[in-house]
Amino acid sequence: MELTLWTYEGPPHVGAMRIAASMEGVHYVLHAPQGDTYADLLFTMIERRDRRPPVTYTTFQARDLGGDTAELVKRSIQQAVDRFQPEALLVGESCTAELIQDQPGSLACGMGLGVPVVSLELPAYSKKENWGAAETLYQLCRGLLKTQMPAPGAAKPEPERWRSEGRRPRVNLLGPSLLGFRCRDDVRELRGLLADHGIDVNVVAPLGARPADLMRLPQADANLCLYPEVAGPLCSWLERSFGTPVVRTVPIGIGATAQFLRELCALLGLEPPELREADQRSRLPWYSKSVDSTYLTGKRVFIFADATHAIAAARIASRELGFTVVGLGTYSREQAREVRVAAKELDLEALISDDYLEVEQAMAQAAPELVLGTQMERHSAKRLGIPCAVISAPLHVQDVPARYAPQMGWEGANVIFDSWVHPLMMGLEEHLIGMFRHDFEFVDGHLSHLEGASAPTAQPVAGPDNGAPDVTPLSATPEGGALRWTASGEAELSRIPFFVRGKVRRNTEAYANERGVAEITEETLYEAKAHFSR
Amino acid sequence: MALTSTLPPVLRESGQREVFCGLTSIVWLHRRMPDAFFLVVGSRTCAHLIQSAAGVMIFAEPRFGTAILGERDLAGLADANEELDRVVNDLLARRPEIRTLFLVGSCPSEVIKLDLAKAAERINTRMLGRVRVVNYSGSGIETTFTQGEDGALTSLVPLLPASPEPQLLIVGTLADGVEERFLSLFARMGLETVRTLPPRQSTDLPPVGEGTRLLLAQPFVADTVRALERRGAQRISAPYPLGVEGSCAWMAAAAAAFGIDPRRVAEVLDPLAERGRRALEPLRRRLEGKRLFLLPDSQLEIPLARFLHRECGMELVEVGTPYLDRQLMAEELPLLPEGTQLSEGQDVEKQLERVRASRPDLVVCGMGLANPLEAEGFATKWSIELVFSPIHGCDQAADLAELFARPLNRRELLQWN
């Protein structure tokens, strides 16, 4: 038994729903009690989809348990097939149904439905959403491709066969799904990127694919494993069974996109991409080199996300933006090894956890200036008063923007530059704050156009300047004693621009606590400033 | 009851339901009682459900959580009990301010027959009064959406002190502001001793006994009422306090039960009713003649339909309810217009077909269905919003009507050329 307040991942059957809802022509019959239909709103509310996910729930009740729930399952399956006439049917159960052991998959297989049936066994008490999504995609493809499997020992297809076949090379984009982070835009970005290099897209799956498209998966010259959380097992199986090579570099960020193109071109026997392509196609390299970005140097950043986005973020932050990564972790246990390796390169110990409180604690300890995380970290960061950009699922409706906002490829790098750097500055560059700190615009009560939208540390509270007492003169120390701000300390604090005052207050109090200082004077504030400056 | 014979037979359906389970009511109960914690004993699905229903995390540190059952717990029950004790210990160490702990049963904990009543007893003994531990079930195989509140309140009834003192007990969660308003109105009528269940502090439990008269603020508290009746309380039959008519009738019924002079009641209520109707007038013009389809969700559907028809002039196409408690609806059903089609339970695909066939102007539905219906061209109203918003009372009648007028207004506002 494990205590959870918020969870990063749903149960595995929600992963299966993500696959079904991402595709066309697939229907999922889910043996589940009333209430499990909540999962529909992940799609209709968070993703703002215009249709319900293609799922029929059996909605069994307590009174059904004494009777024949198997009959209910069969009835629901038959009704779903009659009503929706799917091209492939997924049948599975949620956590409660797993306990009553009706085995809906076997029941469906015995019904002679005339459509391919994939029976899903997703252990609800040991696995989670991403695993469920990966397993479902793999089982569905395996079921559909059963008849196409080459004999064991058959020759592997040559990745350069496109030449002899007189066509352009073609690849599959695997892994993009609903409730993933910006998958739809990533697919569009990659289609363009690949087209620029003379490469066609054979199948995108699961997003937008039909079962018939999955039947064409083996026709690709290579598989691009874009989201290993979802596509990892499928790519490995296609490689083992059909000999299709896999490119596993995820093209998020400048370096990774360039590496991805190099690997893919080498694999397909294409000319290597031009070295200057990144500079020509993305603004990130120049924006990052430009003088205005100088102040980004060594900004302390804490990263926690799914493995794919966490690893990409660590690389971009440390190499392409000049940040110092002070924490790196993931909730994706299946990819923990890769994240550990990435952390080790940065002299860090990776945090592998699905306990958001543990993550919050690590975040607080690392004292970053920017958090790159999920919806959970957005909340933790808000509580700690640290700017945050969301880089991975689980997400909120606000993370599904109307505009084109990919993460992958050259445009993705532009989007990343904007969305990570803006929470840090929003026009409030530190050197300007230093230069103009005594100007009246920075005095309390003067609300600039940046107010509210800008620095999360903004605290438009009345300070001593306005004659009103500070609202929180006492802060608790870890020992249970109270820190006291003296008049001189308060006066100096009030001279600090309101949008960084909260941070200065916290830093000073942390410093005082560490040193066992009970009274914070003007001098304490400057000592703390000296201590924290680098 | 004779009057209800003007209604056609209730359409009873069982099939796929698009209704939350009782766990969801934790989302408003934990706000009502800030010194309480709701610990669901269930699966990862339960945890995911509450967080999704809570708008995917409004609160950084919620007063609810889930003890997620793992494979090890399913292997043997003794193990699960030990595990639960450990989780509760960790939780209470982390949240020492918690005074009442609700252990909330779920579908899986019910199917494996984990005895939460025993667990609550055991933990209570160990805690020696520091924390009170009670239990109820919010499982989807037993309860729908708002029934969770009924379960939570029922679990508090045995803890209520006994008192024969005459008092009015309002049962069902109201928004704080609305509740204060009701208390002050009752005081104006001369009804001084008015208490509420749930209370605002979980430890501030109202007494109950022969002198207690129950007034239901919400229609979904049937089990609580029965438990309170067993303690000697008596229910006042009244419509629910939605709209001017319902609110006045509700308050008047309470006053009558305490023998308050009707003239005094009129002195207090008449100006309110007058003002309430005036505020409603522009909204009535907006809603009049519009056709309304209510899908089953919160149990508020019948009182809402009554208000929207009688005070706002809407036409009722179908009024769905997850289940129909004829006793608790006795004062509401006769107020529905002749021929109103009620439906109980749900077969969502069939019901959506009826929605499409009847082309209503507005559909009241659960969150999962709203956007798909909007995409099909229907204006919708989330039913869950009605459990979170202050909608009760004469003063709120116009606000309540506005919730339904807004989707219609919005459709007229938008232009694409």
> What's the confidence (pLDDT) of residue B75?
78
Distance CA A41, CA A175 (A): 22
Per-residue pLDDT of B214-241, as tens digits, reads 999 999 999 999 999 999 999 999 999 9
Q: Do B21 and A35 touch (CB under 8 A)?
A: yes
- Does the pLDDT at position A437 exceed 80? no
Angle between helix B301-310 and helix B397-413 axes, rounded to 10 deg:
80
CB pairs under 8 A between A and B: 189
CA A272 to chain centre: 30
pLDDT tens string A507-529: 888 888 888 888 999 888 888 88
Out of A102, A185, A200, A292, which one is annotated catalytic? A292
Q: Which of A341, A335, A326, A450 is nearest to A392 (CA)?
A: A335
Of the candidates B44, B139, B142, the beta carbon closest to that of A10 is on B44
What is the structure's pLDDT at A481? 59
Which of B215, B229, B223 lies closest to B257 in space, CA to CA? B215
Mean pLDDT for A314-342 is 97
pTM for this entry? 0.90
> What one-letter code names the amino acid at A80?
A
Residue A199, token pair as written in the block: 């490469």
Residues of chain B positioned with their CB less than 8 A from the CB of A7 = 44, 47-48, 51, 66
Structure tokens at A92: 């599975």
The whole-angstrom distance between A383's CA and the closest CA on chain B is 7
Contact residues on chain A for B18, CB-CB shorter than 8 A? 37, 40
- Report DSSP state, residue B134: E
Mean pLDDT of chain A: 89
- Judged by CB atoms closer than 8 Å, whether chains meet at B111 and A100 is answered as yes
A9: which chain B residues are within 8 Å (Cβ-Cβ)? Answer: 44
Angle at A80 between CA A77 and CA A82, to 5 degrees: 110
Alpha-carbon distances, residue B41 vs A238, A484, B109 (angstroms) = 40, 44, 6
d(CA A30, CA A18): 13
d(CA A133, CA A146) in angstroms, rounded, equals: 20
Residue among B288, B306, B251, B253 nearest B273 (CA): B251
Average pLDDT of every residue of chain B: 94
Q: Give the least confident one: A42-51, A344-353, B45-54, B189-198.
A: B45-54
pLDDT tens-digit map of A75-129? 999 999 999 999 999 999 999 999 999 999 999 999 999 999 999 999 999 999 9
Nearest chain B Cα to A398, which residue? Answer: B56
**pLDDT given at position A433:** 62
The answer for A 391-410 residues in CB contact with B (under 8 A) is: 394, 396-397
Instruction: Give the number of other Cβ atoms within 10 Å of residue A267's Cβ.
Output: 17
How does residue B55 score in pLDDT terms, banded at 50, 70 and 90? low
Whether residue B407 is preceded by a cis peptide bond, meaning omega within 30 degrees of 0, is no
Supply φ then ψ for residue A294, to 5 degrees: -50, -40
pLDDT for the residue A139: 98
Decide if B16 and A379 are in contact by the 8 Å CB cutoff: no
Question: What's the pLDDT tens digit per position in A241-260?
Answer: 999 999 999 999 999 999 99
Once rounded to an integer, what is the mean pLDDT over residues B41-66?
82
**Does residue B353 carry a pLDDT above 70?**
yes
Is residue B209 helix, strand or coil? coil
Chain A residues lying within 8 Å of B140, measured CB to CB: 33-36, 96
Report which residue type is found at A106: S
- Identify the burial level of A114 via C-beta atoms within 10 angstroms of its C-beta, where 0-12 means exposed, 13-18 middle and 19 or more buried: exposed
Instruction: Mark yes or no for CB contact B56/A4 under 8 Å.
Output: no
B58 has a pLDDT exceeding 90: no
3-state secondary structure of A225: strand
In the predicted structure, residue A424 carries a pLDDT above the cut 90 = no
* Strands in B230-274 per DSSP E: 234-235
Residue of B371, B380, B385 to mutate, testing the A interface (most A Cβ within 10 Å of its Cβ): B371
In this complex, the residue of A44, A62, A375 whose CB is nearest that of residue B368 is: A44
Res B127: pLDDT? 84
Encode pLDDT of B198-212 as tens digits: 999 999 999 999 999
Largest CA distance in chain B: 69
Cβ neighbors of A1 (< 8 A, separation 6 or more) are B41, B67, B68, B69, B70, B73, B80, B83, B84, B86, B87
Residues of A in contact with B107 (CB under 8 A): 33, 35, 95-96
- Considering only residues B60 and A185, tell me which one the structure prediction assigns the higher pLDDT: A185
User: Is A292 marked active-site?
Assistant: yes
Give the model confidence (pLDDT) of A446-489 as tens digits. Answer: 444 444 433 333 333 333 333 333 333 344 444 455 788 999 88
- A470 or B416, greater pLDDT: B416
pLDDT in tens, B74-83: 877 768 889 9
Identify the closest residue of chain A to B141 by CA–CA distance.
A61
